[in-house]
Amino acid sequence: MEANVERTVVEFSRASDEGAAPFVELIQRLFAAGVERYHADLVRSEKTYYLPNGDSHVVKVAPIDVPAAKELSAAGVEAAIRSSQAGQIRYKEFCERVLAAGCVGYVVSLAGRRAVYYGRTGETFVEPFPGAK
């Protein structure tokens, strides 16, 4: 991965952890850097960023000390998303809430303009980006 893209994904990860910028702004930075998608593993505290050419980069992120519920609650994940979109919570609390709702990780597709949240047994909740069809 090129150094400038690597720097962007590291900055994105730090800004997310610190709640330093709105999600939409951070996503725009990733898109501008050429990132196609990323995977957030909430249990391992890692994000993996992917480019269309197959290059990837793993970034360690701040751990979240909330155990994941055994079953995915789509309503719980959706409530956390809505609170985040409304600016009521920052990223750390978002992660705490989705873990408590049984989400162990998620994939954000910039190309597909959606996020797919998944639980321990493969249950999923799909959230289109605001304004996406």
Q: What are the structural domain ranges in the chain?
A: 3-128
CA 87 from chain centre, in angstroms, equals: 16
Backbone angles phi, psi at 11, to 5 degrees: -65, -40
Q: Does residue 133 have a pLDDT over 70?
A: no
The beta strand positions in 13-123, using DSSP E, are 37-41, 46-50, 56-60, 103-109, 114-119
- At 10 the three-state DSSP class reads helix
The mean-pLDDT minimum among 4-8, 77-81, 108-112 falls in: 4-8
Cα–Cα distances in Å, from 26 out to 2, 13, 14, 22, 31?
19, 9, 11, 6, 9
- Contact of 45 with 62, CB cutoff 8 Å: yes
Task: Return the closest-CA partner of residue 76 out of 25, 114, 19, 127.
Answer: 127
pTM: 0.91
Task: Return the closest-CA partner of residue 99 out of 121, 57, 50, 66.
Answer: 66
Predicted confidence (pLDDT) per residue in 36-49, tens digit: 999 999 999 999 99
Pick the CATH number of 3-128 from 3.40.50.150, 3.30.1810.10, 3.30.470.20, 3.20.20.150: 3.30.1810.10
Predicted confidence (pLDDT) per residue in 34-80, tens digit: 999 999 999 999 999 999 999 999 999 999 999 999 999 999 999 99
